[in-house]
């Protein structure tokens, strides 16, 4: 008997969805930072076993959209309800509601199995934990509630075993050696974007998109050329920094992660271009993989 199915992870921004998926997959597929709205796309991670294939989908955090890019991000979340065999709804200790009431109703009315994961319990005490479990059992009576710590790995294996139990019998949807549905360039873009999130403050990280224009793989080295898009000239100056120091730091940090990810030496060239108001431009968003309706 072989089981296979789609497991879609949803929740507010920064509750640990990407950390959980990476813990399940065992590879760093989704970028993880302490800033909200890190994930912009829906990213598939595939976990294969002899008798199962779990196709995990990490989605952007649920927000009320303020501009075109965020509308597109929420379309990725909406699509997570359409093909799920199991829905994983993540909250964190201290959280009491979802930012969008319509999404919350979809979860509580779901006909598919719902696992509600109460994350970051390593930051709580027993009394608070018991209160939170009771609260969420009442709010989402159709869900199985699991207290977890995705970062520490607590109960992650238990949840994964339960997911396999809930999956339907099915042959695999993807080749058994496949880890994700995304191309190599996507992970280059995400890695560079993660380093920008970590190294810059305020609006800068959210005004940035990365486009990998060249990706040449040779026997011992991968040569990559990526462009960092910003919305204004002032942002370009901040990204580059004094005598190029800030951009160089991003490049060094990204290269190290990419060498680990691809298992090869990386030659990474980064450039910065101004692409005015790309977050509100439907054509630009489509080019970057958003607005795929």
Q: What is the pTM of this model?
A: 0.60
Q: Which residue has the higher pLDDT, 102 or 54?
A: 54
Cα–Cα distance for residue pair 122/127, rounded to 1 Å: 13
What single string gives the DSSP state of each residue in 53-70?
A: EEEEEE-PPP----SHHH
At 62-77, the pLDDT tens digits run 445 444 555 545 555 5
Residue 40 has pLDDT above 50, yes or no: no
At 156-173, the pLDDT tens digits run 999 999 999 999 999 988
Residue 174 has pLDDT above 70, yes or no: yes
Which uninterrupted H or E stretch holds 131?
Answer: helix 126-139
Residue 201 has pLDDT above 50, yes or no: yes
At 175-189, the pLDDT tens digits run 777 777 667 787 888
* Residue 15: HSE in the Cβ half-sphere, 13 Å Cα cutoff: 30
Q: What is the pLDDT of residue 285?
A: 67
Cα–Cα distance for residue pair 151/133, rounded to 1 Å: 19
Q: What is the pLDDT of residue 144?
A: 94
Residue % of the chain over a pLDDT of 90: 16
Residue 34 has pLDDT above 50, yes or no: no
The closest of 30, 83, 27, 28 to 60, measured between CA atoms, is: 30
Residue 214 has pLDDT above 50, yes or no: yes
Q: What is the pLDDT of residue 117?
A: 92
Cα distance from N-terminal residue to C-terminal residue, the chain: 36
What is the phi/psi pair of residue 239, to 5°?
A: -60, -45
Which uninterrupted H or E stretch holds 17?
Answer: helix 17-25
Cα–Cα distance for residue pair 239/273, rounded to 1 Å: 10
Cα–Cα distance for residue pair 280/275, rounded to 1 Å: 11
190 band by pLDDT with thresholds 50, 70 and 90: confident
Those residues whose C-beta lies under 8 Å from the C-beta of residue 79, and which sit 6 or more positions away, are 42
Kindly state the average pLDDT of the residues 248-272: 89
Q: What is the pLDDT of residue 115?
A: 93
Q: What is the pLDDT of residue 80?
A: 58
Cα–Cα distance for residue pair 108/142, rounded to 1 Å: 6
Those residues whose C-beta lies under 8 Å from the C-beta of residue 132, and which sit 6 or more positions away, are 93, 94, 118, 124, 147
Q: Helix 184-199 vs helix 245-262: angle between axes, to the nearest 10 degrees?
A: 140
Q: What is the pLDDT of residue 98?
A: 64
Those residues whose C-beta lies under 8 Å from the C-beta of residue 154, and which sit 6 or more positions away, are 121, 122, 148
Residue 288 has pLDDT above 70, yes or no: no
Lowest-confidence region among 10-14, 154-158, 238-242, 264-268:
10-14
Residue 43 has pLDDT above 70, yes or no: no
Residue % of the chain over a pLDDT of 70: 76
Q: What is the pLDDT of residue 160?
A: 92
Q: What is the pLDDT of residue 162?
A: 95
Q: What is the pLDDT of residue 281?
A: 66
Q: Which residue has the higher pLDDT, 138 or 104?
A: 138
Kindly state the average pLDDT of the residues 24-40: 53
């Amino acid at each position: 008997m072989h089981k296979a199915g789609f497991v879609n992870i949803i929740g507010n921004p920064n509750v640990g969805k990407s950390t959980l998926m990476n813990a399940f997959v065992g590879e760093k597929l989704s970028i993880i930072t302490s800033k909200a709205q890190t994930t912009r796309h829906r990213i598939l991670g595939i976990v294969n076993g002899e008798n199962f294939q779990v196709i995990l989908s990490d989605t952007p955090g649920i927000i009320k959209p303020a501009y075109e890019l965020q509308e597109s991000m929420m379309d990725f979340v909406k699509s997570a309800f359409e093909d799920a065999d199991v829905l994983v709804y993540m909250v964190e200790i201290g959280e009491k509601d979802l930012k969008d009431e319509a999404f919350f109703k979809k979860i509580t009315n779901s006909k598919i199995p719902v696992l509600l994961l109460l994350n970051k319990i390593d930051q709580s005490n027993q009394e608070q934990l018991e209160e939170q479990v009771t609260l969420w059992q009442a709010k989402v009576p159709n869900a199985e509630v699991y207290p977890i710590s995705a970062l520490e790995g607590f109960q992650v294996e238990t949840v994964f075993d339960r997911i396999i139990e809930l999956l339907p019998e099915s042959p695999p949807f993807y080749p058994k050696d496949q880890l994700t549905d995304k191309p190599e360039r996507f992970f280059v873009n995400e890695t560079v974007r993660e380093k920008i999130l970590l190294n810059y403050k305020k609006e800068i990280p959210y005004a940035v998109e990365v486009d990998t224009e060249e990706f040449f793989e040779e026997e011992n080295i991968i040569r990559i050329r990526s462009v960092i898009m910003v919305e204004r000239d002032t942002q370009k100056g901040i990204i580059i920094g004094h005598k190029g120091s800030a951009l160089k730091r991003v490049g060094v940090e990204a290269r190290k992660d990419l060498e680990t990810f691809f298992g090869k030496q990386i030659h990474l060239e980064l450039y910065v271009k101004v692409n005015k108001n790309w977050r509100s431009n439907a054509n630009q968003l489509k080019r970057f993989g958003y607005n795929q309706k």
